[in-house]
Each structure stands twice: as structure tokens, then as C-alpha cells.
Amino acid sequence: MRHISQLKELAATWRNLEKSVADLEVLVDLSVSEGDRSLEEEIPAEIERIEHSLEGLEFELQLGGEYDRRGAMLAVHAGAGGTESQDWAQMLLRMYLRWAEKRGYQTEVIELSPGEEAGVKSVLIEVKGDYSYGYLKGERGVHRLVRISPFDASHSRHTSFALVEVMPVVESSVDINIEPDDVRVDVFRSSGPGGQHMQKTSSAVRLTHLPTGLVVTCQNERSQFRNKDTAMRVLRSRLLELELEKKAKEQVRLKGEHITAEWGNQIRSYVLHPYKMVKDHRTGYETSNPVAVLDGDIDELLKAYLRSTVESR
């Protein structure tokens, strides 16, 4: 029923645009036949409105993947390098949270492992909103930061890496069916902040998917049941992403193309010193304003990637 509703909404949008074009044709005919100056002034504004609507609809065609309309599970993992990389992972987390806020998406931190001195070792968030997976799916890969280290007394230049994973939210068991015997469930006491209740009861849950070896941990909630439910949702998303990755590699094999940039390879560099630049290595898109990018202004980077995937089909 949800899919039918989405299709009806899409069809209504295009039919309204079709009607607007028909009304514009009538307006042009009246303007020509009656020589009405007021109508001549209306026509350019109406053309601009229709063109703007059409551009938006054309871009949405780039988000036509099977799961693009879904919400997203986004994980950030600090690379080797201790505090430097952990701080970089937190900077990326803030960037995605700010981007989601600007787009009106809701976010929820599902699992967070804080850094030893600063930043985060790893974090998993859910981004809730239409097309959030479609927009974010191109962010998967290694992100590289070059800057003067705030943690180095000698103020030397450091390069840090962080890995970003993006998975579509699985809405039901229709997408991924998990056999109960394939999952080992372990419960343990939560660690870190959260109050005495969380630390004195075995509310944290760890799920191990035996066929793939995937491990998902959740300890944010006080309820073991809620932690298990959240962990199962994350596990389904990770399994679906594995399936999508297999399909993508099989398509590449069938097409006979050699791809140098695979899942997990460096996709983007953020340079804060000796010059300022953010460059996406897949599309060649560059901007000299890394401060704005790290504050969540990443729409142009996301759109450049989506356009490149359409052009390469």
C-alpha cells in the first residue's frame, strides 16, 4: 500500500506538470490572438516555474534505485592514527548530522564508541527521511583529512582517514529473511555513560550472524528488548548492503569493465592546510570552502556523484 501511494503521488506530480504546460499553451494562444500585454508578462514567469519543476523532477530520476527512497543507516569508523583519526571521525559525524538537520531529516544515534582522548572510534546513526539513502549512498568509502594537528605540540601537518558505510533501512523481512538459528544472541551489561540501571542489568545485546560473521551491538536503550530490536534492524540493513555489493560486483564482471575504485577505497580529500580544498576523486568536483562542507553543505558533492552514476550507465 505504501508503494502504491508513492506511485500515485509520483503520477499526480507529472500529470499536474502536464496540465501546467497545456494551460501555458492556451495562455500563449490567447496572448497572440488578443494581443494582451498583461498575458505577455505572465508567460515568462510561468515558463520559469515549469522549468524549475522539471529540473527537480529530472534530478529525482537519478534517485530511482530500488532502495533510494528509504532511510539510511550511516556508520563512521576512525582509521589508524589514534586521536587524530578519532577526531576526524567525529568531524564527519557532525557534518552528516548538520546536513540531515538542514534537509529536515531526523537522526538517531544507535551505537557510539567514544575515543580515548577525543572524538569517536565508531558511530552508527539512522537518518530518517525520504531519499536519505539515495542521497547518502555515494558517501561510502574512505574520507581523507589533511590539516595542522590540534593535538600536536609541534603543529605539524597530519593526514587522517575514516571509513564511512551507508546502508538502506530494511523495512520488513520481505527484503532480508534471517533464520533464527543463524543468529547468536549474547547479552551483557552496558558500558560507558547511561546511569546505574544500564550498568547493573544485562540490557546490552550483541547479535552474531553465523553464516557471514557480521556482528552488531546495541546498548543505548535501558530495555534489552529494544536493544535487540534495534540490533536486528541494523543487522538486516548490513545484510542487505552485502547483497547489493554482490550484485554490483556481478554487474561489473558481466560488463567486463575494470574498476579501480571499489567499496572502501578513498573517495574524497578534505584539505585544510597548506591550502583549502575539498575534492571528490570519483567525479573531480572541487570546492575551496571546506568549512562550509564540514558544516553540512554537501549537497553539491552528493549531486555530482549521482549525476556521474547516471552518465556512466
Give the angle 233-238-242 at the CA atoms, nearest 5°. 145
Lowest mean pLDDT among 48-62, 142-156, 260-274: 260-274
C-alpha cell at 168: 538502506
- Using the predicted structure, report yes or no on whether residue 259 has a pLDDT greater than 50: no
Lowest mean pLDDT among 31-35, 63-67, 250-254: 250-254
Q: How many CB atoms lie within 10 A of CB 1?
A: 5
- Using the predicted structure, report yes or no on whether residue 196 has a pLDDT greater than 60: no
- Using the predicted structure, report yes or no on whether residue 256 has a pLDDT greater than 60: no
Which of left, alpha, beta for 192 (phi over 0: left; psi -120 to 50: alpha)? left
Most confident of 62-66, 194-198, 223-227, 276-280: 276-280
- Using the predicted structure, report yes or no on whether residue 266 has a pLDDT greater than 60: yes
Q: How many CB atoms lie within 10 A of CB 74?
A: 27
- Using the predicted structure, report yes or no on whether residue 130 has a pLDDT greater than 90: no
- Using the predicted structure, report yes or no on whether residue 245 has a pLDDT greater than 90: no
**In the CATH scheme, what architecture does the domain 72-173+259-311 have?**
2-Layer Sandwich (3.30)
Using alpha carbons, select from 111, 141, 119 the residue that is nearest to residue 215.
111
* Predicted local confidence at residue 270, as pLDDT: 97
Angle in degrees, 0-180, between the axes of helices 2-34 and 37-60, rounded to the nearest 10 = 150
Domain 180-253 is in which class? Answer: alpha beta
pTM above 0.85, yes or no: no
* Predicted local confidence at residue 279, as pLDDT: 96
Using alpha carbons, select from 97, 99, 77 the residue that is nearest to residue 88.
77
* Predicted local confidence at residue 269, as pLDDT: 95
- Using the predicted structure, report yes or no on whether residue 6 has a pLDDT greater than 90: no
* Predicted local confidence at residue 27, as pLDDT: 85
Using alpha carbons, select from 188, 177, 245 the residue that is nearest to residue 211.
177
* Predicted local confidence at residue 197, as pLDDT: 41
Lowest mean pLDDT among 101-110, 209-218, 258-267: 258-267
At 261, the pLDDT band (50, 70, 90 cuts) reads very low
- Using the predicted structure, report yes or no on whether residue 257 has a pLDDT greater than 70: no
- Using the predicted structure, report yes or no on whether residue 263 has a pLDDT greater than 50: no
Comparing 144 with 116, which gets the higher pLDDT?
A: 144
